[in-house]
A and B are shown apart, each in its own frame.
Chain A
């Protein structure tokens, strides 16, 4: 029996369609409730808080190894589509207007910031991996310092060999002047975030200008050095882009818990004063 092939795109279309259908049904229900003068604030408020708690549970689920509550990938899909539903419920909850109270404004700002950071995160997690894929093999973020050290050692050894073999210090002088710091630490992160190759081209151009002063052996070493420079540049690119992938969670997750704290107080106040 041939199993149907469900591609990522097909799954995305299907999930989006289901989410849209659910959102349309929910919107119809809320509009109808508002038309019939039903108070939807209470229901939408609790639904929103419930959904936000569910979304926050994804972070906890990733830390849990047991019990096996669905796969993390499934949680991520639910996280994404439920988050879009919260936007609809949030819009109905605030009545499509800017709130007035201090706590309400704070709460709305926290929600919008959290939601926006989430959307930004989705965009980043969708956009960055393909870019990383074309810039070399997979590099584990935690091992980048180790690889950087390895590259530095290889470059330094190359320079020692160069001096020993050719008795010339042109390349080693160049290394000392332009490459020692380049290999010692991560460089040009700002340019990598802007997807710019300018620093790399500058460095390689400088190395190329040394060609006229190099002998045959030195030129062969220079070719190896050029490869090391490119590899280090790719490593820095990985560091910058993977760093972004990790840093957005430093915004999204704290905001989520701040949102939950203020939302709980908001719900408490509603129960105290409504009625």
Chain B
């Protein structure tokens, strides 16, 4: 309803000029009687000044010039001398008040000061870590989370030393997550750090080859606008030359239940542009057997194997995710028992590993019994390795004629000095093994492997060798009884031996003196024999570290020992070698890394690279009449020549079987349901 009485008067004398931006207002404002000018800038009342005037002289009289808004000319008029009479102020003296705007400004400053104070307290106290933490870590990293009363653990992942310490400002700058990723690698990707930050953790050449394969089979796709834009962007991971920071995908501090590895299908499709719309629409058929690669070579088609039930050898792991092989004792030993029907043969000799044997050399004036020197072939691997721990032996091994083709009589065609050196080194070795203790063995093996004497690989070999001194002592007493005199420089008869009045074990495992070959041999005591495994592991590890540290080899001797160790490994693992026959038939050796798959599954690398499978939910779907062959189909006669058979002799999985359930509505069909990003398990 409109006002009948107009309040706002218009006119320069009636309508005052408001100054809401001034700091102070008249104290009489609330009474409705503010003075026209208001307080001064310092908040002092100006009513007295407002009522004063500068009198004007008209003729012989002084006139008051006070303005109308201040009450007009005062009744008394100026003083006789022309000064203002300073009449009683028209407006009572007031206590000026802050204007609304000034109050607001003060509230702003108060709030700001409160906030800054609160932040200062928050960032300087034992509670700082809890306050600046952007959130709880995920389950996987909860161990890093600082517990009450403990100091900050932020530096485990972050390079900053904390805001409460002096180093914080030193870390200011443009954030580089790749630098932070180095901290992730402290715990993750211990196997292959070089490719840890690469796209899919594989080297560029391999990735490029996969890219070509992808491009060769373009599929139909219906990209969204965002996907088209994302594909067009110069992405950090679309360029395979770039390293990718872990935090690109793994966003931390999002709570205990946060899924660190969550990726959407569209994010996969930014790179995999020529792929397909979904699993059900255009996903290629499985041309590889996607189960985890087994480290054990096993032919499922072999009649004796094919007649067994799957559950005889396989069982689900504790989480039910993957099917594992049962231990050797449960799955294999029933048939492949040591010394009966195993790969090692049935006799003691066929199962034995020659350890020490005197080579058949043509020697003169050297204590080297000809009837005991039966070695007509290469130096036994373990004996050669032990000789590497002796510098004289190393020099002699180097002087062996490369064209001798393994025949000892031709090893030293001209150099009597080298032969003398060699025979002496061999006798020293025998003396060490027969009379020395574990320390002696440890010292020799450590030198041979170029590692510290307390290295675990040294221990694995030194302990059993030291315990086997009875066999070497027996050998020495029987075939080289005057070894001590010879080594001390006394002249002894060349072929002096003792009668075989001792006995040796027959049909037993372990160290023994072989009377037929006149050697000390070792027969593995069973599956996973520690001596043989220790020898192979030492050589394999030495081979891998030797290659990597080739530049670091400081002396010729070290390089020579590395070459000799490679030769020993080759001798053991080549066709006909002891390890090839005894171990590597089942425990296959990786072609590139030469690592031996001692266990059934190498979980660090899947054969299909980027696939995963959880057996648990699938097994609960099996009906009574179903079995493993529902998915793991064995080939029929027509498939025997098919190139698509896996090395375990199974046909590739049928995509239609999976796609029948894995639809967008029935079961999850996203990329990450079956695929993993990391080619190498972090």
Contact = CB atoms under 8 A, between A and B. Distances in A.
Interface of A: 28-29, 31-39, 42, 63, 95, 97, 99-104, 134-140, 142-143, 145-152, 227-228, 230-231, 234-235, 246, 249-250, 253-255, 257-258, 261-262, 265, 268-275
B41 interface: no
A28 to B, nearest CB: 6
B180 A137 contact: no
Contacts of A63: 21
Nearest to A253: B108
A97 B177 contact: no
Interface stretch (B249-257, B334-342, B624-632): B249-257
Interface stretch (B30-38, B291-299, B304-312): B30-38
27 contacts: A28-B225, A31-B230, A34-B267, A35-B230, A36-B231, A36-B237, A37-B236, A37-B267, A39-B248, A42-B175, A100-B135, A100-B136, A102-B131, A140-B8, A142-B29, A146-B33, A230-B3, A231-B7, A234-B1, A257-B111, A257-B115, A265-B123, A268-B163, A269-B132, A272-B160, A275-B159, A275-B175
A24 to B, nearest CB: 10
A261 B115 contact: yes
A262 B236 CA distance: 31
Contacts of B136: 100
Contact of B104 (A32, A143, A250, A261): A250
Nearest to B5: A231
A99 B108 contact: no
Q: Which 3 A-B pairs have the closest CB atoms?
A: A100-B135, A149-B32, A136-B3
Contacts of B177: 39, 274-275
Interface string B464-488: 0000000000000000000000000
Contacts of B186: none
B158 interface: yes
Contacts of B133: 101-102
A104 B173 contact: no
Interface string B61-100: 0000000000000000000000000000000000000001
Contact of A235 (B7, B31, B270): B7
Contact of A140 (B18, B31, B104, B175): B18
Given A38-B236, A253-B108, A265 B119 contact: yes
B1 A38 contact: no
A39 B247 contact: yes
Contacts of B237: 36-37
Contacts of A36: 230-231, 233, 235-238, 267, 270
Contacts of B226: 28, 31-32, 35
B550 interface: no
A80 B376 CA distance: 96
A230 B4 CA distance: 8
A99 B136 CA distance: 10
Contacts of B25: 142
A74 B159 CA distance: 46
A137, A270, A273 interface centre (most CB from chain B within 10 Å): A273
B413 to A, nearest CB: 66
Contacts of B526: none
A273 B156 CA distance: 11
Given A140-B8, A275-B179, 6 more contacts: A35-B267, A102-B130, A135-B3, A253-B104, A254-B110, A268-B163
Nearest to A246: B100
Contacts of B31: 145, 149
Given A100-B136, A102-B133, A142-B20, A271 B8 contact: no
A270 B254 contact: no
B32 A147 contact: yes
Contacts of A134: 1-2
B393 to A, nearest CB: 54
A37 B32 contact: no
Nearest to B267: A35
Contacts of B114: 258
A38 B235 contact: yes
A28, A102, A228 interface centre (most CB from chain B within 10 Å): A102
B417 to A, nearest CB: 64
A275 B176 contact: yes
Contacts of B507: none
B134 interface: yes
B108 A257 contact: yes
Given A145-B31, A271-B173, A101 B253 contact: yes
A149 to B, nearest CB: 3
Contact of B163 (A28, A32, A102, A272): A272
B6 interface: yes
Interface in B218-246: 225-227, 229-233, 235-238, 244
B116 interface: yes
Contacts of B116: 261
A53 to B, nearest CB: 14
Given A36-B230, A269-B163, A271-B172, A150 B131 contact: no
A269 B230 CA distance: 30
B112 interface: yes
Given A28-B226, A142-B29, A275-B173, A227 B236 contact: no
Nearest to A260: B112
A146 B32 CA distance: 3
B175 A274 contact: yes
A221 to B, nearest CB: 15
Given A97-B254, A145-B31, A272-B163, A258 B7 contact: no
Contacts of A249: 104
A234 B3 contact: yes
Given A231-B5, A231-B7, A254 B175 contact: no
B107 interface: yes
B266 A35 contact: yes
B248 A37 contact: yes
Given A136-B7, A227-B5, A35 B270 contact: yes
Contacts of B139: none
Contacts of B30: 145
Given A33-B233, A100-B255, A138 B134 contact: no
B168 interface: yes
B447 to A, nearest CB: 45
Contacts of B270: 35-37
